[in-house]
Amino acid sequence: MANQMHHLASAIAESLKQLEADYGEEAREIRAKLAEAQAEAAKHEPNSTKLKAILADCGDMVKSFAALDPAWRAVQRVARMVGLD
């Protein structure tokens, strides 16, 4: 179990890096939740119930973010076109 949690913490850390690289400030809330999950998974004795709840929240946030991403990118393109970037 400890080895699985170590791998989970590593995977979450990689996800955090990728979110920062791809979205920066737009993904601030998702990054905060993932950081919380990473900290829990990295504990000597992680609370699996708490970790599952945090990851479920992350999943819901990612689904919402992914659904809105095309619209957000369109708004950014228009803003750049009119000089508001």
Residues 52-83 pLDDT 10s: 999 999 888 888 877 877 887 788 788 888 88
* Per-residue pLDDT, 85: 65
- Collect all residues with Cβ–Cβ distance below 8 Å to 83 and sequence separation of at least 6: none
CA 65/CA 49 separation, integer angstroms: 24
Among 1, 78, 73, 64, which Cα is nearest to 30's? 64
Domain count across the chain: 1
Phi, psi (rounded to 5 degrees) for 50: -65, -45
* Per-residue pLDDT, 73: 78
Q: Say what the pTM is.
A: 0.64
The tokens 């990295």 sit on which residue?
A: 42
Instruction: State what percent of residues in the chain have pLDDT above 90.
Output: 20
Mean pLDDT (the chain, rounded): 83
* Per-residue pLDDT, 69: 76
Residue 21 has pLDDT above 90, yes or no: no
Q: Give the range of the structural domain holding residue 25, as residue numbers without chain letter.
A: 2-81
